[in-house]
Amino acid sequence: MMLNLTLIGIGTGNPEHLTLQAIRAMNRQDLILIPHKGEGKADLAGLRRTICNEVVTNTATRIVEFELPVRNEATADYRMRVDDWHDAIAAAWQGAMAQHPDAQKVALLVWGDPSLYDSTLRIAARLDRAPVLEVIPGITSLHALTAAHAIPVNDIGEPFVVTTGRRLRDEGWPPGVDIAVIMLDAGGAFETLNPTGIDIWWAAYVGMPEQIIRAGKLADIATEITALRAEARARHGWIMDIYILRRKVP
């Protein structure tokens, strides 16, 4: 039986980020899988359920949660850790789908967009049974960040790079650009930089009711952002943040 797998971008936690295309796709499904990441991140699954409750009107669509495997941080090699984790997630998807063998149309709801710093497409490629894939684009955290600050990413003709906090921490400022968008920062990678001449536009939980935003000179507000981030993470049990760095080169 052919598996039709739809990856639906759902924005950054605000149900109003859903496109009409996403809503229609959700209502075409036999099964929507929702990952549960443990008690500390239970509200992430809750947000997905809330979105489904608001827009899924097809009574034949089943909403099913499954336990998301935890990444093993004991392995020294980063790429090996990620590869093993993705294998485990693919197995978890297959286990959840095996409990509903009649489901031919299955969807996963992806934060932001399935194409920007998200591994859902790579995980789908690891399934034992190759699915027919459909991808529904979504509003990304970068879109939501620039909207929250009412700014463009760059000035006219200026290039920029989108990278991770890990790479910023390990490799320093990306070469060849003066604007960097930083995603997936485990915490304070900007603190490794010489802050002179660098401006930052930062947001956590962007687009959600819990949204926190700050902007200014990195030298002036780095400590405040670090404190805000730690307090928010302690309160919610998780944090998703993103920021733009722009440096002025003499």
Condensed to tens digits (0 to 9), the pLDDT of residues 37-83 reads: 766 555 677 888 989 999 999 999 999 999 988 888 777 788 888 89
Instruction: Work out the burial of residue 51: count CB atoms within 10 Å of its CB; fewer than 13 is exposed, 13-18 middle, 19 or more buried.
Output: buried
| 132 and 48 both lie in a single domain | yes
Structure tokens, 204: 């956590």
CATH code at position 159: 3.30.950.10
DSSP 120-164: HHHHHTT-SSPPEEEEE----HHHHHHHHHT--SS-TT---EEEE
In angstroms, the CA 238 to CA 48 distance is: 16
Which residue, 111, 139, 167, sits at the end of a domain?
139
Neighbours of 72 (CB within 10 A): 11
Judged against a pLDDT cut of 70, whether residue 231 lies above it is answered with yes
Residues 115 and 32 in one domain: yes
Is the domain of 16 the same as that of 135? Answer: yes
CATH code of 65's domain = 3.40.1010.10
Q: What percent of the chain has pLDDT over 90?
A: 70
Q: Are residues 111 and 133 in the same domain?
A: yes
Q: Which of 121, 139, 157 is the last residue of a domain?
A: 139
Q: What is the pLDDT of residues 81-100, one digit of tens each?
A: 889 999 999 999 999 999 99
Note whether 37 and 68 are within 8 A (CB): yes
Which H or E element spans position 182? strand 179-183
User: Rounded distance, CA 134 to CA 177, Å?
Assistant: 34
pLDDT at position 46: 82
Nearest to 3 by CA among 24, 35, 23, 31: 31
Residue that is last in its domain, among 139, 161, 176: 139
What residue type is assigned to position 158 of the chain? E
Q: How many domains does the chain divide into?
A: 2
Structure tokens at 17: 């980020």
> Are both 149 and 192 inside the same structural domain?
yes
- Statement to judge: residues 170 and 128 lie in one domain: no
Q: How far apart are CA 97 and CA 207, in angstroms?
A: 31
Torsion of CA 226, 231, 237, 241, to 10 degrees: -40
Cα gap 219→94, rounded to integer Å: 48
For residues 111 and 173, state if they share a domain.
no
Q: 124 versus 129: which is more confidently predicted?
A: 124
Same domain, 71 and 180: no
Structure confidence by residue, pLDDT tens digits, 185-217: 988 899 999 999 999 999 999 988 899 999 999
* Separation of alpha carbons 59 and 199, rounded Å: 50
What pLDDT, on a 0 to 100 scale, did the predictor assign at position 36? 84
Spatial CB neighbours of 178, under 8 Å, sequence gap ≥ 6: 158, 246, 247, 248, 249
- Name the residue range of residue 15's domain: 4-139
The verdict on 130 and 242 lying in the same domain is no
Q: Are residues 195 and 126 in the same domain?
A: no
Q: What is the dihedral of CA 80, 82, 88, 89, to 10 degrees?
A: -160
228 close to 239: Cβ distance less than 8 angstroms: no
In this structure, are 69 and 112 located in the same domain? yes
Characterize 126-164 residue by residue with b for buried, 16 or more Cβ atoms within 10 angstroms of its Cβ, and e for exposed: beeeebeeebbbbbbbbbbbbebbeeebbeeeeebebbe
Q: CA–CA separation, 152 vs 110, rounded Å? A: 24
Whether residues 57 and 116 share a domain: the answer is yes
